[in-house]
């Protein structure tokens, strides 16, 4: 039987934040969610999350799952105290208890499996992960005696000589739960932080083992925003390297960010300062960026999107967007269309080969195939109470500065005169024009004041 305990009750004082530390995010996902996800792959029988500081907020951040149980630690007297509370709350202490600090978010399931394998094969009381850090500042130092761990000394309790030890405790442990529960209440807080340390159990238990892992970033603990940013960099580098090996070019890799779920096809070029977020798919041969933000959208093949933002939308094939376009949720732009500068599109469907090239707002609209929307065209979709639809049939030609006061339904091959305010529907092949006729007053001079 495998149980997991994730320690997430602390405030995270060094983050200098009103948000609990474990709710800070890297690449869009909270530290706590990341640790949970790494554990779920191990298929444990139950996962306990120890919460305390802003417990409601932390609990609500995690989607319901019958395997996940929240245990409240109040007050928070240290990592050892957190496990004391767990052992009191949960009566059955059978099998293994995998304990993880909630602030080591990049830990891989494969590494946890290795730890469990060692633990099982050596029938240990506790096994934990160590690594050698060039700069071990802030971590507990692990002192070995032969094959077993002698003791762990926290940074704040280390003398100068102990500080030289580069072997650190990663904060990830596998315990024989029954043996742990027999010793857990004997922990004391006679240390410089006056906290009950979980790390003191290694000296109380008999068979304490460690497994040293080469540090490739996955063991980075997060106590402050410098370390948060280090983890973000680690994860971003690995995401971008994966895409580069699959045929994606980054012009200025460091200035871009890509979500873990994003899919990017071959021969896509990502220009500087471009951010691909959420579950976005970019198909092959696209040029994206510079200065572009795309979230939860699909982009077809051979598209060019520059200096623009796209949210929750479908962009089909061979489409040019930008510079300075804003595509808002629920838009569908069909193939061979062109959306130009300073154009906002929201909740609208544009059929193939449509063009909205300059300075327009198209909201709640349907634009038929091969229709050209002239510069400055606005769909006035809101009457103060409700939103209404504008429908323009195929092969239409909309004059510059047309305002459509929705609801409006235009037929196919309709032309509107420049500067018209369109308030009535019109049939196929008609010209809709609504503006006062121009008068020229000849020989007119301004009155002198």
Residues 273/23, Cβ–Cβ less than 8 Å: no
Length of the chain as a residue count: 449
The residues in 210-239 that bind Ca ion, with binding defined as CB under 5 A, are 221, 223
Closer CB to ligand UD1, residue 24 or residue 277?
24
Q: Does 10 bind Ca ion (CB under 5 A)?
A: no
Closer CB to Ca ion, residue 13 or residue 429?
13
Backbone angle region of 270, left / alpha / beta, with phi > 0 → left and psi within -120 to 50 → alpha: beta
Indicate the SS3 state at residue 142: strand
Closer CB to ligand UD1, residue 140 or residue 340?
140
Residue 167, C-beta contacts closer than 8 angstroms, at least 6 positions apart: 130, 131, 132, 136, 141, 142, 143, 144, 212
Binding partner at 349 among Ca ion, ligand UD1, none, C-beta below 5 to 8 Å by kind = none
Closer CB to ligand UD1, residue 155 or residue 263?
155
Q: Residues interacting with ligand UD1, by CB under 6 A?
A: 7-10, 22, 50, 73, 76-79, 81-82, 101-104, 139-140, 152, 154, 168-171, 197-199, 221, 223
Binding partner at 422 among ligand UD1, Ca ion, none, C-beta below 5 to 8 Å by kind = none
Residues 242/260, Cβ–Cβ less than 8 Å: no
Residue 190: count of CB within 10 angstroms of its CB: 8
Q: How far is the CB of 196 from ligand UD1 (least distance, A)?
A: 8
Sketch the per residue contact string, 60 through 99, with Ca ion: x for CB under 5 A, - otherwise.
Answer: ----------------------------------------
Q: How far is the CB of 268 from ligand UD1 (least distance, A)?
A: 37
Q: Which residues are catalytic?
A: 358
Binding partner at 106 among ligand UD1, Ca ion, none, C-beta below 5 to 8 Å by kind = none
Kindly write down the DSSP assignment for every residue of 272-307, as one continuous string: SSEEEESS-EE-TT-EE-SSEEEES-EE-TT-EE-S
The residues in 89-148 that bind Ca ion, with binding defined as CB under 5 A, are 103
Indicate the SS3 state at residue 36: helix
* Both tokens assigned to 74: 């109040």
Binding site for Ca ion (CB under 5 A): 103, 221, 223
């Amino acid at each position: 039987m495998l149980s997991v305990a994730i320690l997430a009750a602390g405030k995270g004082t060094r983050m200098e934040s009103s948000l609990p530390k474990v709710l800070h995010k890297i690449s869009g996902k909270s530290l706590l969610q990341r640790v949970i996800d790494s554990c779920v792959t191990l298929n444990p029988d139950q996962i306990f999350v120890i919460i305390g500081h802003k417990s409601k907020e932390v609990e609500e951040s995690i989607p319901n799952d019958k395997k996940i149980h929240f245990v409240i630690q109040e007050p928070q007297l240290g990592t050892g105290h957190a496990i004391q509370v767990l052992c009191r709350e949960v009566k059955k202490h059978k099998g293994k208890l995998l304990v993880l600090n909630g602030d080591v978010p990049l830990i891989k399931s494969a590494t946890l499996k290795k730890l469990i394998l060692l633990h099982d094969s050596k029938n240990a009381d506790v096994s934990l992960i160590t690594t050698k850090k060039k700069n071990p500042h802030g971590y507990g130092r692990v002192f070995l005696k032969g094959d077993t761990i002698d003791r762990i000394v926290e940074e704040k309790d280390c003398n100068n000589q102990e500080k030289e030890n580069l072997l650190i405790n990663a904060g990830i442990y596998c315990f024989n739960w029954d043996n742990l529960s027999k010793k857990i209440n004997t922990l004391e807080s006679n240390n410089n932080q006056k906290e009950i340390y979980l790390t003191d159990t290694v000296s109380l238990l008999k068979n304490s083992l460690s497994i040293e892992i080469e540090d490739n970033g996955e063991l980075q603990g997060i106590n402050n925003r410098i370390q948060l940013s280090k983890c973000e960099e680690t994860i971003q580098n690995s995401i971008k390297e994966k895409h580069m090996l699959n045929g994606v070019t980054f012009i200025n890799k460091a200035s871009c960010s890509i979500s873990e779920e994003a899919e990017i096809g071959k021969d896509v070029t990502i220009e500087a300062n471009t951010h691909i977020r959420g579950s976005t798919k970019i198909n092959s041969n696209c040029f994206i960026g510079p200065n572009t933000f795309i979230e939860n959208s699909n982009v077809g093949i051979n598209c060019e999107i520059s200096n623009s933002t796209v949210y929750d939308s479908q962009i089909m094939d061979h489409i040019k967007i930008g510079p300075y376009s804003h595509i808002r949720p629920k838009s569908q732009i069909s193939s061979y269309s062109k959306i130009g500068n300073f154009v906002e599109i929201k909740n609208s469907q544009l059929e193939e080969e449509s063009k909205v090239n300059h300075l327009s707002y198209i909201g709640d609209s349907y634009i038929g195939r091969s229709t050209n929307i002239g510069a400055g065209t606005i769909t006035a979709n809101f009457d103060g109470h409700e939103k209404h639809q504008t429908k323009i049939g195929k092969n239409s030609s909309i004059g510059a500065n047309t305002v459509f006061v929705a609801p409006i339904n235009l037929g196919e091959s309709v032309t509107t005169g420049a500067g018209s305010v369109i308030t009535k529907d019109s049939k196929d092949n008609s010209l809709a024009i609504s503006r006062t006729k121009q008068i020229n007053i000849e020989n007119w001079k301004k009155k002198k004041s």
